[in-house]
Amino acid sequence: MSFIDEVILHLKAGDGGDGCVSFRREKFIEFGGPDGGNGGKGGNVIFVADQNLSTLLDLRYRKYIKAKSGKNGSGRNKSGANGKDVALKVPVGTQIIDQENKEVIADLDKHSAEYLIAHGGKGGFGNVNFKSSTNKAPRYFTYGIPGEEKCTLLKLKILSDVGIIGMPNAGKSQFLKRCSNSDSKVDNYPFTTLRPHLGIAKIDYNEIVLADIPGIITNAHLGAGLGHKFLKHIERCRILLHLIDATYDNVISAYEATHNELRYYSEYLAKKEEIVVLNKCDLLTEQEILDKKNSLTYYLNKEVFSLSINDNLQPILSLLYRKLHTEEKVGKYDPFESV
């Protein structure tokens, strides 16, 4: 399945139906009077967040979406039927952005959250509404009001507790696959992962959601590699798990390459809580691991962890869980801070 995280849609709510001019004409009823009914209301266009969706693929080829218009009124005081609403399902974490001024209109970050993006037009009045003591046979009506028309950009930012970041081939997909039910592809070459993957890891009786963010390389924020497409997804992650390939000659440069891209993209990302782990340590000697771990610890002035292919992941997962539940250490995400 293709991972589509941005879609532009032209939306048109339904027009209101026109009112009707009609007069009651029945046998033995001498003064029937006006009985033209009102037009029906046009249908609305509504976005609904659905946790069962993970991509905007369903809307990829629906460029123009229009709700049904209301029916015209008719005689015998019959109002026209209302137009049917159009409910567009989108993944949880979808932002609705005005394509014209680039402002965030709504942020659907909860399951079943709804937002009415385009209101249907009101129906017109039939001539029965204009009857008065001085005008007992009005022959005029009003037309229905056109429905709202909007051009919107939908931008999906996946929701997760932990974002797994790092250079290509740092072992992010392997880590996610080992600790969760993820079906992400694992292989020994860069850019194996072409889209973000989500997985759920269990810690005792608790769960955390992890996201594997595809490899971010130097100048990703300018469009290099694949990372520029997915940097925005990191904004939704509460904390970051930064994996560094321990086989790099200079692990500090590897750390900075990724961290700098976060900072260039958004200062908010650079300030997120971050757990740093030297991965693939089974390929090094104990002395090499110690030297690289010490140099990185000294550079970052905080604890750095090491991980090998056969190590138990529960200690790191437990640490992530504790960090997630230490509110004073976890920054709150403001969905309107950046688009």
Per-residue pLDDT tens over the stretch 129-185: 999 989 989 999 999 999 999 999 999 887 788 989 888 888 888 898 888 866 555
Between CA 283 and CA 289 the distance in angstroms is: 9
Dump the DSSP string for 64-100: EEEPPPPPPPBTTTBPPPPPPPEEEEEETTEEEEETT
CATH number for the segment(s) 1-156: 2.70.210.12
pLDDT, residue 332, reads 47
The residue-averaged pLDDT of 322-334 equals 61
- Is residue 336 scored above 80 in pLDDT? no
Q: List pLDDT tens digits, range 189-205.
A: 444 545 678 888 888 88
pLDDT-based confidence at 224, cuts 50/70/90?
Answer: very low
- Calculate Rg over the CA atoms of the chain: 29
The bridge status of strand 94-98 relative to strand 6-12 is unpaired
CATH number for the segment(s) 162-329: 3.40.50.300
Q: List pLDDT tens digits, range 12-40.
A: 999 999 999 999 888 887 778 899 999 99
pTM of the model: 0.72
Between CA 271 and CA 111 the distance in angstroms is: 28
* 240 contacts 277 by C-beta, under 8 angstroms: no
Q: Tell me the residue type at 317.
A: L
How many percent of the chain have pLDDT more than 90?
Answer: 53
pLDDT-based confidence at 258, cuts 50/70/90?
Answer: confident
pLDDT, residue 23, reads 93
pLDDT-based confidence at 222, cuts 50/70/90?
Answer: very low
pLDDT-based confidence at 246, cuts 50/70/90?
Answer: very high
* 67 contacts 120 by C-beta, under 8 angstroms: yes
Q: Note the helical H segments in the chain.
A: 172-179, 231-234, 251-265, 267-270, 286-300, 314-324
The residue-averaged pLDDT of 235-257 equals 90
Annotated binding site: 166-173, 191-195, 212-215, 279-282, 308-310
pLDDT-based confidence at 264, cuts 50/70/90?
Answer: confident
The residue-averaged pLDDT of 203-219 equals 77
Annotated binding site for GTP: 166-173, 191-195, 212-215, 279-282, 308-310
Q: Could you tell me where in the chain the CATH 3.40.50.300 domains are found?
A: 162-329
* 177 contacts 184 by C-beta, under 8 angstroms: yes
Q: List pLDDT tens digits, range 75-119.
A: 999 999 999 999 999 999 999 999 989 899 999 989 999 999 999
Annotated binding site for Mg(2+): 173, 193
Lowest-confidence pick of 36-50, 189-203, 277-291, 323-337: 323-337
Q: Could you tell me where in the chain the CATH 2.70.210.12 domains are found?
A: 1-156
pLDDT, residue 266, reads 80
- Is residue 223 scored above 70 in pLDDT? no
* 251 contacts 244 by C-beta, under 8 angstroms: yes
Q: Tell me the residue type at 321.
A: Y
Give 98's strand partners: 152
